[in-house]
Structure formats: C-alpha cells, structure tokens
Chains A and B, each alone.
Chain A
Amino acid sequence: MENKVKVCVENLNVHYGEKQALFDVCMDINQNEITALIGPSGCGKSTFLRCLNRMNDVIDICKVEGSIKIDGQNIYDKDIQVEKLRERVGMVFQKPNPFPKSIFENVAYGPRIHGLAKDKTELEEIVHTSLKKAAIFDEVKDRLDETGTSLSGGQQQRLCIARAISVNPDVILMDEPCSALDPIATAKIEALMEDLKKEYTIIIVTHSMQQAARVSKKTGFFHLGNLIEVNDTETIFSTPANDKTLDYVTGRFG
C-alpha cells in the first residue's frame, strides 16, 4: 500500500549567485516514510534538503524557483511565515549542535518561543516526552540541568532530534546526521528513525549507501544538481534504471 504524498516538489531550480545548484528537480515524498537522498559531494542533495524548510533564506545570494508543496501548501508563497514553516519542518544537522545551555533548555527553547506550553508543568511534560521519543530520556533524566555540550556525540545528536521534535513537526529533515558518529551511536540513531517514522515524515541526506539501504523506503540519487533517479530503495540498489546510479551504488565513482 502506498502512503499519501506529504511533500511535492515541482521544477525546483536553485542558484547561488551565478552558479546553478539544482536543475528542475521534481520529487514526491510520502508521509510516514523515510526517504534517503544520496549522491556524491556537491551534487545538491543538501541544498535540496535545506529548501524544504527554507534554511537557504539566510544565504543572501541564494535564489529559489519552482514550488515545494507541503500538504498542498506552497511554502515559497509570499504570505508564508518561515518561523511557522520551520515549526512544522524540523531539522537535524550533520554536526550535533546543541545550544551551550542546559539539556532541559535545549529542548524547552522551541516550545517556549512558539508558546506551546501554558505553564511550567506543561513545558516539563513536552521536554520529557520529546526526550523519550528521541530515546535519550533514560540517559539524561538525572542531569537535565547539565549543559548539552557535555554529552557524548551520539547523545548530543539525539538531543538535537529531541529539540527538533519538541515543537511537534510533521516533517524532520536530517542532513547526514550520523557522519560525525561512531557505528554504535549510528545504530542507535537508525533504530530511533525507525520509531520516529510512525509519527513523522523523515528525509535524510546520507553519504553512507548502506545506511540508505538499511533505513529508507525510497531513495533519490542526485548528480551535478540533477535528480537522476528516485525509486524504491531496493530497486535503486539492485536494478536502477540509470547507468550513473548503477555506477554510484556499486562504488564505481563518487
């Protein structure tokens, strides 16, 4: 059974000044699934990901054309509030980037600025649930007032995931979330993603093809700013339609 389409990208062109980074990308992303984006460095997969919560807005020279619809709403419409959009589309970065504040504050920050909690107990409730969902609560419940940066790399990354889900998003974007982590921490995050996809739509950029094969239902392959191919992960890794994809997944280039 095919899941409902959550994100619909049409004719997405992105320019950094003179240089074009993405060419006419069209892609549908299904709800409650993990979609992996693979491709060699500089192919535009991170740019694509950052278009989905408009993180590219902070780069002055970046120009985005085309449409990205989340639940039918074009997020590049003029009257879209970026802050609201990012509340619905959370993001986890390559390098764990907890705020140099307490673990509690790290998770409480989002709900607080969006006014999601009426009082302190409600805020605590949100923080605890988020930490539980990110499978880190048991490790940190006794030291919520220690700084987030004192945790190990894998814990920091799960703290960042807790921070992302604290504002109750629909979509979570992950930009190479395991590239700075060891295999054990990576395994934990992958298991976590498996849990999270029941509630959220997850899009992950990864350099590890094994990871894409392990976690994702669908995989998209980017090359030189073009989306070469997107299909079920099994198909991409066994019988891709495009020769470039085959070369990449079999390790002949990239």
Chain B
Amino acid sequence: MNSNSLKISNENLKRRLNAERRFKFYGVIAISLALIFVLILFTNIISKGYSAFYRTLIEIKIEFNDKVQPAMFKQMSDTEINKLDLYSFSKKNIYNNFPDIEKKSDKKKIIKLFSIEFEEEIKTYINKNKNNLGNTINLYISASDDIDQIHKGNYSRDIPEERRRVSNFQLSIYDELVGQNKVKFEFNLPFFSRGDSREAELAGLGGSLIGSFFTMIIVLLLSFPFGLFGAIYLEEFSKRNRFTDFIEININNLAAVPSIVFGLLGLGILLNTFELPRSTALVGGITLSLMTLPTIIIATRASLRSVPPSIREGALAVGASKVQTVMHHVVPLALPGSITGTIIGIARALGETAPLLLIGMVAFIVDVPSSPLDPSTSLPVQAYLWNDSAERAYEEKTSAAIIILLSFLILFNLIAVFIRRKFETKW
C-alpha cells in the first residue's frame, strides 16, 4: 500500500466529516439552550424568593407599671399569661416609644408599622423570660409586611405617596428607627412552622409542608405495595392472553391520563360517593395514588423484566416453587429499580396541583394539620394560592414555596439516582 494513500482526503470523506461536525454542533446548541432555560428559571425564582427566608424585626421598649408587673408573671402558667388581655398595655407601650407623636391618627399609623400580632409576640417574650424580667425590657417584634418589604428593598419608595401602602409619615418613622439601629433581620423560622394567614407577615409554609408530608405518606402506603404486587403478578404469574394484554394497555394509558381527570375521579367517588372528609391529605393521597400507581407498575415491570431468565431457571432447577423463585431471587434484584420508580412517581405526585384543586385542598386553611384527616393544603397549591394574593409580600413567599418544592424534588431525584447506582446489579 502506498503510504500516502491514508493521508489524501477526497470529497466524499470531507462531506462525511462535515456532516459529523454539524451534528455535534446541533447537539451542543440543544444542550446549551436547555441549560440556559434552567438557569433563567432558577435565578428568577431564587432571586425573587430568597428574601422570604428572613424577616424584619423592630426593637421597642416596654415599661411595666403597677397593674402589669414582672412579679405577677412569676406565679402564672404559660396558658394563663396567654389568656391575659395585654392589648391596650402593649399598644400604649408602643406609643411610648414615640413620645413626639401626639395626634391620634398618627398613632394609628405607627401601630401599622408592626405586625398585627404584636400583643402575642410581647406575651411570648414575657413567657420565655418570666423569671428574670426587669422593670423595663427591650424586645424585637415583627414588622408589618409593608415595612418588611421596604426594608428588604423589594418595594420601591419612589412611587408617589397616593399609590403607596406606606405613607410618607410612616416612612419617616421607619427611617428614624433605622437611624437608631433599631431594625434588624432575622432568620424567618415562623415561615416554616406557621400555617397560612391573610396577614402576609404571618403566613407560613408549615401547614402545607405537613399537608404534603401526610399526602405523600398516603401515596407511598397505597401505591408502593399495590404497584409492586400488581407488577409482580402481571409480570411473573399471569398467563399472557387477551385479558392481560387489555390490562397492560390500560395501565399504560392510565399513566398518560391528564392529572386533572384523577381529580374529577377523586371528587366524584371519594368525596361524593364515599363522603370522605373534603380538603384532607387522605383524599389527596388516595387521588394521587391512582396517578402514581401506573408509574410504579411500569417501572417495576421493567426492572422485573431486566432480571435475566437464567436466574429464574437456576432457582427452579433446584426445586424452588414459582413463588419462592420470584420472592427469593427475582424481586430482590428488581427492588432497586422499583424503588427508584416509586421515588420518581412520588416526586411527580408532590408537585401535582390540578387534582388537589378539585378535591378542595385549595381552601384557605390557617391551622397546621395534625393528622391526614385534617383539612390541609400542599406545597404547590400553597404557591398557587399565594400567587393569587394581592399583597406584595406574597410574591416572595410564592417563590420561596417553589424553592422549597424544587429542593424536595431535586432531593428525591438524587435519592433515586443514588439507589440506582448503589444497588442495581449489572449483568
């Protein structure tokens, strides 16, 4: 062979190489576009939502008097203190922090700088420190949502006064407080523990977090065992005939049904026929199980099918019965795949909103649910509800709810990937 014949390129080869280069380029473009969209999505949500994770507090001074004195709190239990009426005492003390303000209308505006629950916050402080209260105390109480937004810079002060929720007078007081170094940020723990509220500074994710948790527990308890055993039966025991083909087609169809249809089913059957309690995690869980079930069955069947037949033959050949073969050898090998499918199915159910709207999990619920039978919302529904609210402060909360939701989804998917990598046997 001529040694140069390998170096000379001809037209045909050039064309082929060019086609290859073009193909690679299209691939890079597609991937980059996808990554850019993800990046835009995340920066948008995170930049809007991160400020919901801290809140604004304002320092005030409280002076006890003859009627309300530290000594009397020492003998009282927590509940007794909570029952006290300290409203006017608290209000007067807040006024006293601003001795220059004398007009009644101005005093009202000052109260509006603080969260509507200032009395409760003062009581909580007293409860915590009842054994070592001095005659005067300095404590931080929550700012109202408008001041909170201004302090976070989410709300422009340059808007004309008549279109602003905070008046010039209130702004001047706020500036004075900032000048005296009496305004501070703190991690927003109540955001994770409180239920929903009409007052933006009080509204929290706690109720919907617990609601989502209960819902997912119900989904897991219902769809994993049913899905697993359904798949095992269909794949390993049922004879292949028209009827099982029909079932298989329907399972695949079920996986493709729009989720709102399952909501209608839940509404029609669970709520109207069986009269299960409306708006509860129980009903939400059952409805979402119907949606997750086909996903789990399909994933489990796929992983059962990927167990090589030689393993089954090996077990049968030493005299294992069909059930022993399946339970001792096939299912343990298919379980990682099945669990992965379940986690991904549950992650999908966690982000599902439409069916929950139909079964009433979209109600305004203030109490944090204590059981799956209590009315509750779920994370995505809470985001939907807040997105509909007028106050500016709900905007960051909507994004914060989505951040939490996305974190859970990413966590679930990571767990699924981990399980697949760690436990799946390669053949």
Contacts and interface: CB of A to CB of B under 8 A. Distances in A.
B315 A53 contact: no
A137 interface: no
Interface residues of B, number: 20
Given A60-B239, A60-B240, A100-B425, A110 B319 contact: yes
Contacts of A58: 312, 316
Nearest to A106: B314
A164 B425 contact: no
B244 to A, nearest CB: 11
Contacts of A60: 239-240
Given A60-B240, A100-B425, A95 B319 contact: no
Interface stretch (B76-84, B285-293, B320-328, B400-408): B320-328
B320 A90 contact: no
Contacts, number: 62
B311 interface: yes
Contacts of A97: 308, 310-311, 313-314
B313 A55 contact: yes
Given A55-B313, A60-B240, A109-B328, A100 B333 contact: yes
Contacts of A113: 318-320, 324, 328
Given A83-B321, A93-B310, A95-B310, A109 B240 contact: no
Nearest to B240: A60
Interface string A60-103: 10000000000000000000000111110011010101111000
B240 A114 contact: no
B317 interface: yes
Contact of B318 (A95, A100, A163): A163
A113 B317 CA distance: 12
A67 B87 CA distance: 97
Contacts of A164: 317-318
B333 A87 contact: no
A55 B317 contact: yes
A167 interface: yes
Contacts of A29: none
B329 to A, nearest CB: 6
Contacts of B315: 99, 109
B130 to A, nearest CB: 62
Contacts of B425: 100
A14 interface: no
Nearest to A165: B318
A60 B239 CA distance: 8
A164 B314 CA distance: 9
A84 B320 CA distance: 9
Interface string A169-183: 000000000000000
A99 B311 contact: yes
B324 to A, nearest CB: 6
Contact of A87 (B319, B324, B329): B319
Nearest to A160: B314
B318 A87 contact: yes
Nearest to B317: A91
A219 interface: no
B333 A83 contact: no
6 contacts: A55-B317, A87-B318, A100-B311, A109-B320, A113-B318, A113-B319
Given A55-B317, A100-B333, 11 more contacts: A55-B316, A58-B316, A60-B239, A83-B320, A83-B321, A91-B313, A100-B311, A109-B320, A113-B328, A163-B314, A166-B318
Interface of B: 239-240, 308, 310-321, 324, 328-329, 333, 425
Interface of A: 53, 55, 58, 60, 83-87, 90-91, 93, 95, 97-100, 109-110, 113-114, 160, 163-164, 166-167
What 5 pairs across the A-B complex have the smallest Cβ distances? A97-B310, A110-B318, A91-B317, A87-B319, A86-B319
